[in-house]
Chain A
């Protein structure tokens, strides 16, 4: 699926799917490169490695549960406007 949602991608990556994890790393490469460009040339590679490693740890440790759904939010909003 070309436009897989981030939610299902992360969920697969967390479950140990290597290709999903690769895809996540690819998607966040521009973000990481932004910082890598600020490093001295000789350290750039090390920094990219460290940040990528950090990204992978973050993905693995991320808690997927969302605190509320659409209905909860709409009801909360309606209560707020009605009162």
Chain B
């Protein structure tokens, strides 16, 4: 039986595919013995493998680059804003998400926990005085609307009155303030005159 090592080195072809195929001692042996059929079968395996691998590598590479580019772009456009550290002088290192308003706290809790008084908000003396002449209910309405930033509907909920009542109270209060400040009230809104 012939030892592969004793085989003559096959002719060096310029074709790299042939060379890589014949680098395999078993293929050299078959080549020298003229085993045409087996050679063709083995060559087809070898050739197919090289072709297929380069085909898959090329396409997967292209697809991966395409997808990775898209991911990077997405990363830039939609960064996780809320998980970014809030930078401040103290360097508290809070994530932005922890600073979001807690919507689970009820409107009542927010109102009860209020610390800002409506009349403390202005440095305008006249306005300060004018605010104090309002009835407690009017003050409360203005507080809810302008300090707490509630909508009329939300304020109505808190006070257990209708939204229309809130609107009316607001209108009256503002009108009263304007009068005290000497601001000529704008032509009364026709809508309010209907009431």
Chain A residues packing against B (C-beta within 8 Å): 5-7, 10, 28, 31-32, 35, 38-40, 43, 47, 50-51, 54-55, 58-59, 62, 64, 66, 69-71, 73-74, 76-77, 80
Interface residues of B in 146-187 (CB under 8 A from A): none
Chain B residues packing against A (C-beta within 8 Å): 13-15, 17-18, 21, 36, 39-40, 43-45, 47-49, 51-53, 55-57, 59-61, 63-64, 67-68, 71, 75
- Would you call the interface of chain B mostly helix, strand, loop, or mixed? helix
- Would you call the interface of chain A mostly helix, strand, loop, or mixed? helix
Question: Within the assembled complex, what's the spacing in Å between the Cα atoms of A28 and B56?
Answer: 9
Q: A35-B64, A51-B64 are in contact. Are A7 and B56 (CB under 8 A)?
A: no
Contact yes or no, B36 A66, CB < 8 A: no
- Whole-angstrom distance from the CB of B84 to the nearest CB of chain A? 15
Chain B residues, Cβ within 8 Å of A59: 56
Contact yes or no, B68 A38, CB < 8 A: yes
- Whole-angstrom distance from the CB of B75 to the nearest CB of chain A? 6
Contact yes or no, B48 A6, CB < 8 A: yes
Q: A39-B71, A54-B59 are in contact. Are A69 and B40 (CB under 8 A)?
A: yes
Chain A residues, Cβ within 8 Å of B49: 5-7
Sample (27) of A-B pairs whose CB atoms are under 8 Å apart: A5-B45, A5-B49, A6-B53, A7-B49, A28-B56, A31-B56, A32-B60, A35-B61, A35-B68, A39-B68, A40-B71, A47-B67, A50-B63, A51-B64, A51-B67, A54-B59, A54-B60, A54-B63, A58-B56, A58-B59, A58-B60, A70-B43, A71-B36, A73-B17, A73-B43, A77-B14, A80-B14
